[in-house]
Amino acid sequence: MKGIRVRLEQDLKAAAARLRRMDGNVALEEIPGVIGDNSPFADEVDTIQLNEHREIGFATRELLVDRVHRLKTALERLREGQYGTCVECGETIAPAR
Residue-averaged pLDDT of the chain: 81
pTM of the model: 0.68
* Greatest Cα-to-Cα distance within the chain, rounded to the nearest angstrom: 62
Residue 16 has pLDDT above 70, yes or no: yes
* Domain residue spans of the chain: 2-79
- The 10s digit of each residue's pLDDT in 35-59 is 555 555 667 878 888 889 889 988 9
Residue 5: partners with Cβ closer than 8 Å, 6 or more residues away: 75, 78
